[in-house]
Structure 1
Amino acid sequence: MSERLARLLGGPETAWLVDRVRHRLERGRPLGGSVTLGTATPEQRRAIERLLGRRAGTGASLSVSLDEVDRMLRSSGACPEGLATAVVLLQGPVRDLGRENTERETAWREAYTELDAVVTGRTELSGWREWLESTGLVRRIAGDPREARLLLGTVAALLLRLPHPGIPIGRLSAESCGDAHALDEGKPLAALALSAARALSGLPYAGDGTADARRSAWAAVGVHLDDLSSSVLCLGLPGDDDTATGRVLAALRTAGEPCVLTLRQLRRHDTPVAAGLVRICENPVVVAAAADEFGPHCPPLVCTSGRPSAAVWRLLDLLSAGGCEFAYHGDFDWGGVAIASAVRERINWRPWRYDAASYETAVSTTRAVTSATGAAASFAGTVTSAAALSGRPRETPWDPPLAAAMARHAVRVEEELVLGDLLADLAAELGSTGSR
């Protein structure tokens, strides 16, 4: 690079001009026309005047003809090869962004090579393969084509073994991925592999994101998750002396303490559980309060703890097989209605203060409480109001007026707010049957 070129274009006052030219070169655009600097300093203006050998106009902005700069560099000998070469001499080689983008897109397409070899001919996976690319899921997870190729290659290896007649997910992960935890929830590979399992099962590729949905999707292709992480909370269920799970239930019923059973325990218990009327609630606080209030005399109670887990389903199946009847209560919100509907699809239950009349009463009580506390709250500069109902409305086939009442009032009522009524029902049941 000549000393004159460095003096004319190599300083900080002309750096903006060189950057603009480089930007055009990187994108394959011609070096014709003018470039403009919106607000030029006196030093920047003087630098352009030295470069062109003339006044550079007046005003705040500064426009420079690239054709003029190219001619000046060639004719003056500062850079006989012209402006494009001058930029390379000043700042180094210019990237070809068009070529780089083409190469990157080629690399992304090639990242699917191993997966496509496995998917070809498997019609149940063709739509999923298109979905992967159209949603950009792989690019979001992987970040670059090299990592994507590794991930998709591992998914391809998994698909060669699925569906499986029966294998724990940790073993499948260790044997196919070289890491027993590669398919754990939250890992980059897990989302891709789970969507593939859903595709094989004919389920929506994205799923609903719940733990139970994940277990169901894997189970549909013969893969079993850790059955210790799934559990169910219950109270007052009768046990027996013949099985390990039966003895646990019996001991905790006698002690009047809530019982947490794992899916592993329940899968190893094949004996139906006969308990008469079993009440189902959604929130653990109901079980805790019932244990405090009634201890060993509490009527049978099962808690879904929100969306039912596989352990909840297993226990309900055992109770249903034992000829039990069920009464259900949950939160008065659309999520609670969805949970109630899911349970009702599995077992038949009657409402336990989970109908329109009970909701109307609960709303009136809630509004009365918030109205009474509103004045006191205003002194502290806060606002107290009933919780607003949000989410997508759902039908309540066990009591159609309930959905209409919820939509009309748009007030959310959690189980904790009607806990006294639920405990009163349990007490009444004890009074009618006698303590056990």
Structure 2
Amino acid sequence: MTGAEQTDGRPPDADALAFLTRPGLTRLWTAARTRLERNGLRPAGTIRLGDLDAQEREALSLLLARPVTGLTATIRLLDLDTRLRASAVGRGLASTLRELGPPLTDRRAVRDAAAAERSRVWSTVQAELDATSLSAQPWAAQWLEEIRRGGTLTRQDPHTATTVITQAVHTLATLFPGTDPRPTPATWGRGELATRATGSAHGLDDGTLLSRLVLRGVALAHGVELPADAPARRALWRMASVTPDEVSSTVLSYGLRPTGGTWREAALRERAAHHMETHLTLRELRTLTLTMPPGTRVHVCENPRVVEAAADADRTAPLVCTSGSATTVVLSLLDALASSGCAFAYHGDFDWPGIALANRVIQRYAAEPWRMRTADYEYLATREQVNGTPSIALTGPSSEAAWDTELAPAMDALGIALHEEAALDLLLEDLG
């Protein structure tokens, strides 16, 4: 600190502090703080205060030692700094604002430090890339530049950004070894590749930042668009000789009788003939030929209990269960059946998540609502009340049914949620 500003750390005397904290100066200190922090804490430039009231004009007149009579005042920060040093305050603008609190932030210095840190991150990444076979790949520079422009990493703290992008470089170098003499397997399991890159088998799980960066590189390497959904992302992993986990998730099916000639299709027909349900994995769906007899109508339900009851009652209609949500494996099966020309009928829960799921399935596959209209809901609700069945209250935000605009208002009016089991006897009649 220079000039008349105190250097012994003592605060202004009580009278000076009382004056500085009077309400008429509150807007001045707020505006001065904002400008000072933008200026690298230098008292430069001006601030303008408008719509001054009498209290503010009086306080500013006393502080600046000049009359402020209008509704607007323009104040040079350098003049304010000089005035504070020469007054009983005895210190400059920055020290005064620190005394009044909160601490000042040199935003310019913060920005410069952040820019320097980002530059360090990219320098580190470039060095890592140059040290691998990836530097010889014609698409690698474009990949790195797209990530830089996209801003994905700049929203991370520097340590995380450096770690993730470095892992992405080494993962891609593993998948595209070029002239690297190190032996690599023809096919990687995604968990195995993730463990090699991150130490965790889940490091490349769908939705992680690392998986997004790696898939962007794979897409550029193969000259394809970055996929937007889970099935397409799995296909892109396979394009890079990486096998996603295709056995842990299953879709519950019943009564499927594909016409294909391999033992796989024959096994499904055999299970259908014996009224046995089947859990299909993504791995199986990739090897099955799901060509169905012409005009096959597939019923789709939400709850596994419907499948169980259909099997117990020896029903014959084909049935697919979403098990509460249409996951990738469920959609993969429905997509395959749709491609073979099947038509669909959908039933689910009469609650808001159930309506949202029904919208998704019905709109994606042009499915027929299966006992899912307003009249069906009102009939089931009345039957539950007549039978003395305890009711379940509807909760959460409502969701309009795309196939029946009267359904959501009816559900709102009655306020009752109905799970799929409430219609089980009716559904079984339809599955005969």
Residue 195 of structure 1 is matched in structure 2 by 216
C-alpha displacement of 1:18? 4.0
Report the AA paired with residue 63 of structure 2: L
C-alpha displacement of 1:222? 1.6
The CA distance in 1 between the partners of 2:158 and 2:21, in whole Å, is 38
Report the AA paired with residue 203 of structure 2: A
Residue 138 of structure 1 is matched in structure 2 by 153
Q: Structure 1 pair 422/199, CA: closer, same or farther in 2 (3 Å)?
A: farther
Q: Structure 1 pair 307/126, CA: closer, same or farther in 2 (3 Å)?
A: farther
1:217 aligns with 2:221: no
Is residue 173–residue 182 contact of structure 1 (8 Å, CA) maintained in 2?
A: yes
Residue 301 of structure 2 is matched in structure 1 by 284
Is residue 47–residue 77 contact of structure 2 (8 Å, CA) maintained in 1?
A: yes
Q: List per-residue Cα deviations over 1:359-415 (Å, max 9, x = no partner).
A: 8xx89x999969x99xx9xxxxxxxxx95479xxxxxxxxxxxxxxxxxxxxxxxxx
Residue 399 of structure 1 is matched in structure 2 by none
Q: Residue 57 of structure 1 is aligned with which of 61, 64, 69?
A: 69
Q: List per-residue Cα deviations over 1:153-184 (Å, max 9, x = no partner).
A: 11112111125621221111111101122222
Is residue 280–residue 326 contact of structure 1 (8 Å, CA) maintained in 2?
A: no
**More helix by proportion, 1 or 2?**
1
Is residue 278–residue 300 contact of structure 1 (8 Å, CA) maintained in 2?
A: no
Residue 350 of structure 1 is matched in structure 2 by none
Q: Normalising by the residue count of structure 1, what TM-score does the alignment of the two structures yield?
A: 0.59
Q: List per-residue Cα deviations over 1:111-140 (Å, max 9, x = no partner).
A: 234544536442334444343233333334
Is residue 299–residue 318 contact of structure 2 (8 Å, CA) maintained in 1?
A: no
Matches of residues 16-55 of structure 1 in structure 2 within 5 Å?
Answer: 16-28=27-39, 31-33=44-46, 35-36=48-49, 38-40=51-53, 42=55, 45-55=57-67
Is residue 255–residue 277 contact of structure 2 (8 Å, CA) maintained in 1?
A: yes
Residue 208 of structure 1 is matched in structure 2 by 228
Q: Structure 1 pair 328/82, CA: closer, same or farther in 2 (3 Å)?
A: closer
Q: Structure 1 pair 49/327, CA: closer, same or farther in 2 (3 Å)?
A: closer
Is residue 43–residue 81 contact of structure 2 (8 Å, CA) maintained in 1?
A: no
Report the AA paired with residue 135 of structure 1: G
The CA distance in 2 between the partners of 1:307 and 1:201, in whole Å, is 29
Q: Residue 200 of structure 2 is aligned with which of 169, 173, 179?
A: 179
Is residue 257–residue 265 contact of structure 2 (8 Å, CA) maintained in 1?
A: no
Q: Structure 1 pair 4/133, CA: closer, same or farther in 2 (3 Å)?
A: closer
The CA distance in 2 between the partners of 1:87 and 1:316, in whole Å, is 65
Q: Normalising by the residue count of structure 2, what TM-score does the alignment of the two structures yield?
A: 0.59
Any stretches of 5+ residues in structure 1 without a counterpart?
320-324, 341-353, 377-385, 391-418, 428-436
3-state SS in 1 of match to 2:175: coil
Report the AA paired with residue 31 of structure 2: R
RMSD of aligned Cα (Å): 5.5
Is residue 162–residue 221 contact of structure 1 (8 Å, CA) maintained in 2?
A: yes
Is residue 279–residue 302 contact of structure 1 (8 Å, CA) maintained in 2?
A: no
Give the length in aligned residue pairs. 357
The CA distance in 2 between the partners of 1:312 and 1:23, in whole Å, is 54
The CA distance in 2 between the partners of 1:146 and 1:72, in whole Å, is 45
Q: Structure 1 pair 115/53, CA: closer, same or farther in 2 (3 Å)?
A: closer
Q: Residue 258 of structure 1 is aligned with which of 277, 290, 297?
A: 277
The CA distance in 2 between the partners of 1:316 and 1:389, in whole Å, is 21
Residue 408 of structure 2 is matched in structure 1 by none
Is residue 249–residue 259 contact of structure 1 (8 Å, CA) maintained in 2?
A: no
1:98 aligns with 2:108: yes
Is residue 246–residue 281 contact of structure 2 (8 Å, CA) maintained in 1?
A: yes
Report the AA paired with residue 303 of structure 1: V
Q: List per-residue Cα deviations over 1:59-90 (Å, max 9, x = no partner).
A: 6x6665545434434555864x8656665677
Matches of residues 223-302 of structure 1 in structure 2 within 5 Å?
Answer: 223-237=242-256, 250=270, 253-254=273-274, 256-263=275-282, 279=296, 281=298, 283-284=300-301, 292=309, 298-299=315-316, 301=318
Is residue 236–residue 299 contact of structure 1 (8 Å, CA) maintained in 2?
A: yes
The CA distance in 2 between the partners of 1:247 and 1:20, in whole Å, is 77
C-alpha displacement of 1:152? 0.9
Report the AA paired with residue 145 of structure 1: P
Q: List per-residue Cα deviations over 1:4-47 (Å, max 9, x = no partner).
A: 955546731245434433432322276354542644573x5554
The CA distance in 2 between the partners of 1:72 and 1:290, in whole Å, is 84
C-alpha displacement of 1:51? 2.9
Is residue 271–residue 277 contact of structure 2 (8 Å, CA) maintained in 1?
A: no
Return 329-338 or 195-204, whichever deviates more: 329-338
The CA distance in 2 between the partners of 1:369 and 1:218, in whole Å, is 46
Q: Residue 171 of structure 2 is aligned with which of 145, 153, 158?
A: 158
Return 271-280 or 70-79, whichever deviates more: 271-280
